[in-house]
Amino acid sequence: MNLDFLLDQVTTLLRTELQDFCQKEEIGELNHELSVKIIKRTKALISQVGCMTIEHFFESYDSYAPTIEEDGNLYRLKYKSGRDFLTSVGKIHIKRNVYQQDNGGKSIVPLDRYWKMEHEYISHEVQEGLLYACAHNTPEETSKLFGKISLFKVHPSTIKRMVEKTGNFIEEFKEQIVMGIHKEEVIEESPDILVCSLDGVNVLLNEKGVKKGRKTERPVSEKKTESNSAYKNAMCGTVSVYSIEKEEGKNKPVRTMTKYVSRMPQERYTIFKKEFQNEIAHFESFQPQKKILLTDAHTSIQGYIGNTAQFNDFDWMIDFYHASEHLSKLAELIFGKKNKQGQAWYLKKNEDLKNHKYGVVKVIRSAEYYIKTLLTNNKAKLANKELNYFKRHRKFMNYKLHLDNGWPIGSGVVEAACKSVVKQRMCRSGQRWTRPGGQKILNLRSIVKSERWDSFWNKYSEIKYTNCA
The per-residue pLDDT string of the chain (469 residues; one tens digit each, 9 = 90 and over) reads: 788 888 988 899 899 988 888 888 877 788 999 999 999 999 999 999 999 999 999 999 999 999 999 999 999 999 999 999 999 999 999 999 999 999 988 999 999 999 999 999 999 999 999 999 999 999 999 999 999 999 999 999 999 999 999 999 999 999 999 999 999 998 888 999 999 999 999 999 999 887 665 555 555 555 556 788 899 999 999 999 999 999 888 999 999 999 999 999 999 999 999 999 999 999 999 999 999 999 999 999 999 999 999 999 999 999 999 999 999 999 999 999 989 999 999 999 999 999 999 999 999 999 999 999 999 999 999 999 999 999 999 999 999 999 999 999 999 999 999 999 999 999 999 999 999 999 999 999 999 999 999 999 999 999 999 865 4
Q: Which domain range does residue 294 map to? A: 176-214+221-319+410-455
pLDDT at 468: 56
Query: In whole angstroms, what is the distance from residue 424 CA to residue 375 CA?
Result: 44
**Does 180 reside within a domain?**
yes
pLDDT at 114: 95
pLDDT at 466: 84
pLDDT at 213: 55
pLDDT at 443: 98
**Does 91 reside within a domain?**
yes
> What are 393-396's contacts with CB under 8 Å, separation 24+?
393/297, 393/318, 393/323, 394/360, 394/361, 394/364, 396/297, 396/316, 396/317, 396/318
pTM of full prediction above 0.85? yes
Q: Are residues 366 and 382 in the same domain?
A: yes
Count Cβ atoms within 10 A of the Cβ of residue 400 and give its class: 0-12 exposed, 13-18 middle, 19 or more buried. middle
Q: Are residues 88 and 10 in the same domain?
A: no
**Does 168 reside within a domain?**
no
Q: Are residues 343 and 381 in the same domain?
A: yes
pLDDT at 40: 92
Q: Are residues 326 and 274 in the same domain?
A: no
pLDDT at 469: 47
Pair 112, 96: CB distance under 8 Å: yes
**Does 208 reside within a domain?**
yes
pLDDT at 5: 85
Q: Are residues 340 and 260 in the same domain?
A: no
**Does 404 reside within a domain?**
no
Q: What is the number of domains present in the chain?
A: 4
Q: Are residues 433 and 313 in the same domain?
A: yes
Q: Are residues 259 and 247 in the same domain?
A: yes
pLDDT at 209: 82
Q: Are residues 209 and 314 in the same domain?
A: yes
